[in-house]
A and B are shown apart, each in its own frame.
Chain A
Amino acid sequence: MASLKELAKRPESFTGGHRLCTGCGAGTIARQALFAAGDKPVVVTSATGCLEVASTIFPFSAWNVPFFHSAFENSAASCSGIETAYRSLKKQGKIADDIRFIAFGGDGGTYDIGLQSLSGAMERRHKMLYICYNNEAYMNTGIQRSGATPRGAHTTTAPTGKVKTGKDQNRKDLTAIMAAHDIPYVGQTAVGYWNDFMTKVQKALEVDGPSFINIIQPCRLGWGYKPEDTMVLGRLAVETCIWPVYEVVNGEYKLNIKPKEKKPVTEFMKHQVRFKHLFKPENQTLLNEIQVEVDQRWAKLLRLCNEQPIA
């Protein structure tokens, strides 16, 4: 991976002037992904969502690379069509360039409405990288629960109330679902670890086949925290082992970041309005249960990665 100094000299493919919120991690993800792609040409697709609507308000576009959007649930299918066109035209000698393909989707467009399209594209082995910028709810439409929303989080469609404590269910493990597709590269990472994310993008673009990266992206509006804390929250998600940073390369699990100490989940949750209600005394049991779930998932991942628990 290039140094920050070297990266700063690279041309910007995702430029300023977009309308993403102050402190939004999605812009960081797009910019770093394209930095990581380097000099090699890329074509980008995106699902409908924050990143797309905020970066392509006609007649403006933040993208200095070819960018395509058509609908919510089909970023992977669209990208697979573009990649197929590339193979066809290249085979026929109609284009000469060596082009890479990156599809973006939020958690709603990936975990939920776009899961079938993503699964199909991965199974068909299109040579494309799918990046899920996962802010754990439908933020673009106003913070509704998704399949990625964690248990206990307040959203506008699984709100807290007199008899409810936010979302009842835990999120599904999409990274594991993608690993189960036996694709050459699957990675999970967090905003706040630029080196890890960009390394993963580079690795993913190098493999001969489909690849997938799930990156957790703190959303200051939906999570309810100060905009300057985006990187801090990304790191806390990792340090509490709520969101481990690992990769699955040709089926081999590898833990990329092992926190020095395993912080309690409350260290991540206490900064966020969406979890505020969990800190009431009557919700202590739920908070304990969430900690147990995180511990179990972490222990399972350590076994897969052949790692010892944190001392």
Chain B
Amino acid sequence: MIKTTYAKGKVVAKTGNEVMAEAMRQIAPDVVAAYPITPATEIVQIFSQFVADGLVPTEFVAVESEHSAMSACIGACAAGARTMTGTSSQGLALMWEMLYIAAGLRLPLVMAVINRALSAPINIHGDQSDTMGARDAGWIQIYSENSQEAYDNMVQSTRIAEKLQLPTMITTDGFIISHCMEVVEILPDEDVKKFAGEFKPERYLLDIKRPYTLGAIDLQDYYFEHRFQLADAMNNAIPVILEVAQDFYKTFGRKYDLYEKYCMDDAEVALVIIGSAAGTAKVVVDDLRSKGVKAGLIKIRVFRPFPAKQLAADLAKLKVVAVMDRADSCSGAGAPLYTDVTAALYSNANAGLPLPKVVDYVYGLGGRDIDLDHFHEVFARLEKIKAGGPIGPVVEYINVRK
């Protein structure tokens, strides 16, 4: 049984999808447009039932594709409606064009993304290839280790999106979290509603007394400025994300940061990881700590914007780091998290901080398990490197038949 952090909180057993739908019910957006896709379908199904039972004032649009889901959401949000959706994998891929447009038009949509491998081969299980591929679309990306984090991140999502005028995706690992029943503390409806507040867009299409054109063509004379403004918003997003997290902590008692530091105070070797596998890795860190190994872990919560400066400062204290990527970019030079982490370290080295040694592990593609032994194997290698051993291949693939 978990301890509630909020006196009025209710402890229940629910899956990741159920709690994300629950947060959506509590926020009660004006419009949800969505299309079914495993393993995110349940969110849409559960939410449709809320609509059918009159529990939310939301208008639900069961569109004919994910491209239309995102297009309708963009239209609805531009019209002045608080708008949410959910998808996964191929669905996110089909939305690709519209993801960039949602960000470029600065529309604060919120989307639950249940991480799933991308085809081909077709595979319905959890890895983060889908959202990693969308990492440069101009969306805020917040990842969750478990159902509680998925729920709490959803509760914070609209505030972040609307304050920054940036679309925001909240993710969990497909099946591992989306379909796994866990004990979760659900907050009271009225308190979530109050926390989320009202959506008050500055301009919106249905404001017919102030007609305006949204989605105009920019030529060489304006496009760059508008894209700069988007980059600038992303560059300045971290304080807002932290401010919302701080208010969430003050209100509900659970603490969130850009990333979680686990046993990092005196750590010499550590992992940088995203999502559900962090839970398994923490068990290994505990085990190693009991044997005197100075092991630690950093679990990324906010991947976009990337907390480069903060992360580099924390990693600079380490001797050896393994970046764990549940996605591959097929770049031939390391997976997405690895390239961002090493870039952050290098930028920081320019400021005079020491550089730890860094290796990359691609793991868990298509839902392949990663268990305690694998993390032990990774830490054993980090210890050897720390002791002066050879680094070996910088990018490794773990638990795969080569």
* Known contacts A58-B217, A61-B216, A71-B97; A82/B61 CB under 8 A: no
The smallest beta-carbon distance between A118 and chain B, in angstroms, is: 10
Contact A89 B98 (CB under 8 A): no
* Known contacts A84-B59, A88-B30; A68/B75 CB under 8 A: yes
Contact B206 A123 (CB under 8 A): no
* Known contacts A117-B67, A120-B63; A82/B30 CB under 8 A: no
Contact B101 A84 (CB under 8 A): no
Contact B75 A56 (CB under 8 A): no
Instruction: Point out the residues of chain A lying under 8 angstroms from B207, CB to CB.
Output: 66
The smallest beta-carbon distance between A8 and chain B, in angstroms, is: 22
Chain B window 220-242, contacts with chain A (Cβ cutoff 8 Å), 1 for yes, 0 for no: 00100000000000000000000
**Which residue of chain A has its CB nearest to the CB of B208?**
A41
A67 adjacent to chain B (CB < 8 Å): yes
With beta carbons under 8 angstroms apart, the residue of B57, B67, B76, B215 that contacts A69 is B215
Instruction: Point out the residues of chain A lying under 8 angstroms from B97, CB to CB.
Output: 71
**Which residue of chain B has its CB nearest to the CB of A78?**
B75
Q: How many residues of chain A are within 8 Å of chain B by beta carbon? A: 46
A87 adjacent to chain B (CB < 8 Å): yes
B342 adjacent to chain A (CB < 8 Å): no
A97 to B71, CA, bound (A): 24
With beta carbons under 8 angstroms apart, the residue of B31, B105, B206, B211 that contacts A70 is B105
Contact A85 B31 (CB under 8 A): yes
Instruction: Point out the residues of chain B lying under 8 angstroms from A82, CB to CB.
Output: 75-76, 78-79, 205-206
A82 to B208, CA, bound (A): 13
Chain A window 62-90, contacts with chain B (Cβ cutoff 8 Å), 1 for yes, 0 for no: 01111111110110011111101111110
* Known contacts A53-B217, A74-B67, A99-B208; A80/B30 CB under 8 A: no
A286 adjacent to chain B (CB < 8 Å): no
A119 to B214, CA, bound (A): 24
A116 adjacent to chain B (CB < 8 Å): yes
Chain B window 31-48, contacts with chain A (Cβ cutoff 8 Å), 1 for yes, 0 for no: 101000000000000000
A284 to B193, CA, bound (A): 72
A305 to B89, CA, bound (A): 48
A124 adjacent to chain B (CB < 8 Å): yes
Contact A77 B218 (CB under 8 A): no
With beta carbons under 8 angstroms apart, the residue of B57, B83, B205, B222 that contacts A68 is B205
The smallest beta-carbon distance between A87 and chain B, in angstroms, is: 5
**Which residue of chain A has its CB nearest to the CB of B100?**
A71
Instruction: Point out the residues of chain B lying under 8 angstroms from A56, CB to CB.
Output: 213, 215-217
A41 to B79, CA, bound (A): 14
Instruction: Point out the residues of chain A lying under 8 angstroms from B61, CB to CB.
Output: 80-81, 84, 124
Contact A74 B64 (CB under 8 A): no
With beta carbons under 8 angstroms apart, the residue of A58, A66, A68 that contacts B208 is A66
A35 to B64, CA, bound (A): 32
A59 to B59, CA, bound (A): 33
Contact B31 A66 (CB under 8 A): no
* Known contacts A56-B215, A70-B105; A77/B76 CB under 8 A: no
Contact B218 A81 (CB under 8 A): no
B184 adjacent to chain A (CB < 8 Å): no
The smallest beta-carbon distance between B375 and chain A, in angstroms, is: 44
With beta carbons under 8 angstroms apart, the residue of A71, A86, A92, A124 that contacts B79 is A86
A89 to B74, CA, bound (A): 16
A59 to B213, CA, bound (A): 9
* Known contacts A58-B222, A120-B63; A89/B215 CB under 8 A: no
Contact A85 B30 (CB under 8 A): yes
* Known contacts A43-B79, A61-B213; A77/B72 CB under 8 A: yes
A116 to B72, CA, bound (A): 13
A71 to B97, CA, bound (A): 8
* Known contacts A56-B213, A81-B75, A81-B76; A73/B57 CB under 8 A: no
**Which residue of chain A has its CB nearest to the CB of B61?**
A84
Chain B residues 195-213 with CB under 8 Å of chain A are 205-208, 211-213
Instruction: Point out the residues of chain B lying under 8 angstroms from A85, CB to CB.
Output: 30-31, 59, 75-77, 79-81, 83, 206
A120 to B205, CA, bound (A): 22
Instruction: Point out the residues of chain B lying under 8 angstroms from A97, CB to CB.
Output: 206, 208
A70 to B95, CA, bound (A): 13
Instruction: Point out the residues of chain B lying under 8 angstroms from A1, CB to CB.
Output: none
Mark A residues whose CB is within 8 Å of B. Answer: 41, 43, 45, 52-53, 56-59, 61, 63-71, 73-74, 77-82, 84-89, 91-92, 94-95, 97, 99, 116-117, 119-121, 123-124
What are the nearest 4 A-B pairs in CB distance? A81-B75, A120-B64, A81-B72, A69-B215
Listed by A's residue number, 24 A-B pairs whose Cβ atoms lie within 8 Å are A56-B216, A58-B219, A66-B211, A66-B213, A66-B214, A68-B213, A74-B68, A77-B71, A81-B31, A81-B33, A81-B73, A81-B75, A81-B77, A81-B83, A82-B206, A84-B31, A85-B81, A85-B83, A89-B81, A91-B59, A97-B206, A116-B64, A117-B65, A117-B67
